[in-house]
Amino acid sequence: MKKQSIFLAMLALVLVLGLAFVGCNNKTDESPELTEAFVITRADFDAGINNPITTIAANEEFLLRWIGKNSYEDLLKGVMTIKQGATVIQTEELPFSSPIRKGELFTLNTGMFVLPDGTYTIEVYGVDAKDNKSNTLTTALTVQKTAH
């Protein structure tokens, strides 16, 4: 009888722990999702051309275009970080004048930026109304010296 009671207690414990783990693993990720991020030159942007690039001239204006969806909450802002190697050159918090509504797909552009020659990585992620962060997308950018 004692062995049977211990067995039933252990079985109950295993069931409770198993259900707890199953419940944790089935939780839906409610974060916004970014699907693309790429650089566009000012000239292409002004001409209405959506031409992703990875190399620009030094002191040429560019913006970062990022695309995604926010299925669960209103999207309130983006955060963009420009790095050269491991060194952070600039971080911009980009609050939206009006939120991107829940369930909408979005295409957003940062403001214009200019960088000196070098090799950079640009990271971007979104933040929703519940402070959930999206995935972070990274794009590479090479800025070449201009000829004199």
Q: Provide the token pair at 56.
A: 């620009």
Please state, in angstroms and rounded to a whole number, the distance separating the CA atoms of residues 118 and 131: 34
Does 14 have pLDDT greater than 60? Answer: no
In a domain, 138, yes or no: yes
Q: How confident is the model at residue 97 (pLDDT cuts 50, 70, 90)?
A: confident
| pLDDT digits 0-9 by tens, 110-138 | 889 999 999 999 999 999 999 999 999 99
In a domain, 3, yes or no: no
Residue with tokens 């974060």: 31
> In degrees, to the nearest 5, what angle opens at C-alpha 103 toward C-alphas 98 and 109?
45
How confident is the prediction for the chain on average, in pLDDT? 85
In a domain, 17, yes or no: no
- Report the number of distinct structural domains present in the chain: 1
Whether 66 contacts 111, CB under 8 Å: no
Does 23 have pLDDT greater than 60? Answer: no
In a domain, 22, yes or no: no
Domain of residue 140: give its range. Answer: 31-144
Please state, in angstroms and rounded to a whole number, the distance separating the CA atoms of residues 89 and 141: 13
In a domain, 23, yes or no: no
Does 15 have pLDDT greater than 60? Answer: no
CATH number, domain at 37?
2.70.50.30
Whole-number CA gyration radius for the chain: 23
Does 104 have pLDDT greater than 90? Answer: no
Handedness of CA 98, 99, 101, 105 (dihedral sign): positive
Please state, in angstroms and rounded to a whole number, the distance separating the CA atoms of residues 34 and 17: 34
Please state, in angstroms and rounded to a whole number, the distance separating the CA atoms of residues 84 and 67: 23
Q: Report the pLDDT value the prediction gives residue 67, as an integer from 0 to 100.
A: 94
Q: Report the pLDDT value the prediction gives residue 30, as an integer from 0 to 100.
A: 84
Does 51 have pLDDT greater than 80? Answer: yes
In a domain, 41, yes or no: yes
CA contacts within 13 A on the Cβ side of 41: 15
Least confident of 4-8, 20-24, 67-71, 90-94: 20-24
In a domain, 13, yes or no: no
